[in-house]
Amino acid sequence: AYAGHTSATSAETAFDTDDFNEREFLTLTEARSGNLQLAMNWYNSFKVAGLFCLGFSEEAADLGFSVYETRNVHPNHRHTRYGLFFHSLAMIDCIRKGELPPNRYTQYMKQIETNQSYIRKWISPSPINNSAWVALVTGKDAEMASLLNSPDAFKLYDVAVKLSVNNDWLLEEGWGLFLQGSHFIRCGVEGLGTELQRRGISRQSQWGARGIVYHLSSLIDDRSPLPLKRHIFSSDVAVQTDSVLISASPPPDEDIYPQSKSSSTTEEDVINKLTAGDLASILRWSKDISRDINLSLALQRLTEIATENSGSQSTCVVIAREAGDYTVATSMLPPEPCQVHENPISVRAILDPLQRAVIQHALNTKGRVYLDDVTAEPRFSSEARESPHRSVICLPIFSNRGQTFGAVYLASRYAFSPNTVTVLTLLCEQASIGISNALLFRSVQAGTRENLKMIAAQRDALEAARKSREDALKATKIKSNFLASMSHELRTPFSSFYGLLDILSGTELNNGQREIVTTAKQSCELLLKVWPTGLSRATFLADLPTIDHRFNFLDYSKLEASVIASIEARVFKLCSRKPDRLKFTINGFVRVTCSVDNNTSSTQGEAHLKFIIQDTGIGLRSSRQITLQQDDLVVPD
């Protein structure tokens, strides 16, 4: 409850947490306890203190009577006197509110005196072990003196505070300063009283009592004092012109000005102040942050951990971009969840002027900023008036090369404890390793992404080139097949037409008819000469002219007298077959051999001629040779 981890919205739930319910605990204790009165005396003594410190004075005053009634069940332990002290403070607070009926007022005043008398009895027999109660009793007397408007109240408060300071009782010191400040305010000294109250809140925050801090800060916030131009305990040395004499410096262990930080404190001294539990928590959190190699997830986890363990009311993490500027990567405003900004917000565009100024100052100076009361700092006093927060922490995040690649900002209406600042400082130092790895992974990922894009573009280009080559080869093949087909299909009919014209010219024709036939034969001869060149594959693809070779008979025998044939007809038949075999032949030969086939039987007066055509072409498979003499045969490549 002191640490602020309970649901302190009402007295019934003031001690409830996520895994603890007070009502269930009391029911279980009543059923299992062998000495219920003793157990409840212990429990109620500390419960009275907790109720009063959280602001539930009426409930604490009612419960405190049971503590006094059961004080003798365990008289040698100081928890009873601890509870009775806070019982007296709770009753005084109820009396000061002025809402008690007369009988209750009389009861409270009598019980306060009874509690004081009981506590004083334990001062003499055990002054060392029970020296804390000297301050408590004195403080209670001071409260009584203040309640009765006694002039001794100022002195009694001062004695109580000094005794608490000398014995390092932070709880008692914080309450002493706050109650002393409240007394000054009631006496009309508002400036000094408010400062003492804030010092008391700072002491409670120093040892992590955020639950008490929330309650006391709410009491101060109920008042709306007029804002001062500057803090009453600070001055700007830049405009200080009068000579100032400072009497004696305070002892090094007495922190009169909580906001001042000793520059001689080393990192080893800071670590030595932490407990083993704090160091274990820092290592656990660092491992949790480093587990996320994704930068956004790592920063989100850092934001959540810093907010949860500091009690911050406004947290953000600023990270550097490749362009060199800083942007807000994550932000968190409890109880809302952490928000990861997909479109980062520039630091210059932050709406809160205090947040913007503190972050820019920390990034520029590369130093941490920790202010219990930001209104006391002249550099940020003007921005503090426009912000609801009073205490701020800004911790830069450095890489292993000393580069500042981010910062963590935390702000709250209540003061942060120095222990919290120390823990967060070490956490940021440890988390910087994981964040550096995440930044490196992001840069490698970006480079890999660009390489993949380049590889994909090259693959697409190669695929396009392959398809283009295939299309070109396919088009070439189609064109070659087309030319081969057209060459055969066109020249064969023209050869037949030429043969018919030749036969027609041998008939009886008049002069006009013979002239027409002669002209047609000349045209056919010209076409048959031009056609191989026009449709030749070599001409179309290599731009080479077709070389016309002479048609020579290599070997022939003397014709028999009984063989009657037209030489033109034989040449025509040979020519009608020869171009099909010569049209794609550049080198090599095509040989036609004609002889009498003696192997074939023939009747008397007949002879069979045998023609053998040989070339150096691709040849024909045996399965295709049977189709050699068929019409419109085109041999594939």
Let me know if residue 485 belongs to a domain. no
Number of domains in the chain: 3
| 423 & 336 share domain | yes
Q: Are residues 152 and 220 both part of a single domain?
A: yes
Q: Are residues 71 and 185 in the same domain?
A: yes
Q: Which helix (H) or strand (E) holds 193?
A: helix 190-206
Residue at a domain's end among 192, 224, 256:
224
| Residues with Cβ within 8 Å of residue 278, at least 6 apart in sequence | 419, 422, 423
Quick one: which of 96, 95, 87, 93 has its CA closest to 116?
87
Q: Is residue 343 part of a domain?
A: yes
Residue 580 burial (CB count, 10 A): 17
To the nearest whole number, what is the mean pLDDT of the chain? Answer: 76
Q: Which domain holds residue 627?
A: 551-563+585-637
> What is residue 394's three-state secondary structure?
strand
Closest CA to 57 of 82, 92, 81, 22: 92
pLDDT tens digits for range 425-434:
888 888 777 7
Distance of CA 453 to the CA centre of its chain: 22
pLDDT at 434: 74
Domain end point (choices 400, 419, 446)? 446
Q: pLDDT tens digits, residue range 51-97?
A: 999 999 999 999 999 999 998 888 778 888 888 889 988 998 898 88
Task: Give percent above pLDDT 70 in the chain.
Answer: 73
In a domain, 156, yes or no: yes
* pLDDT the model gives residue 257: 34
Domain final position from 422, 446, 470? 446
Domain assignment present for residue 489? The answer is no
DSSP structure string for 396-440: EEE-TTS-EEEEEEEEESSPPPHHHHHHHHHHHHHHHHHHHHHHH
**Does residue 161 sit within a domain?**
yes
pTM for the whole thing? 0.47
According to DSSP, the β-strands at 404-412 and 609-615 are unpaired
In contact, 386 and 356? CB cutoff 8 Å: no
Q: Which is more confident, 531 or 517? A: 517
Distances (CA, A) of 119 to 42, 52, 90, 168, 310: 17, 19, 16, 21, 36
Tell which residue, 334, 341, 369, 338, has the closest CA to residue 355: 369
C-alpha span between 519 and 531 (Å, rounded): 18
80 and 186, same domain (yes or no)? yes
- Report residue 244's pLDDT band, with 50, 70 and 90 as the boundaries: very low
Give burial (CB, 10 Å; 0-12/13-18/19+) of 293.
middle
pLDDT at residue 246 greater than cutoff 60:
no
pLDDT of amino acid 407: 92
Residue 91 included in any domain? yes
Judge whether 571 lies within some domain.
no
Q: Which residue has the tokens 């968190």?
A: 332
Shared domain for 317 and 203, answered yes or no, is no
Statement to judge: residues 296 and 433 lie in one domain: yes
**With 80 as the cut, is the pLDDT of residue 130 above it?**
no
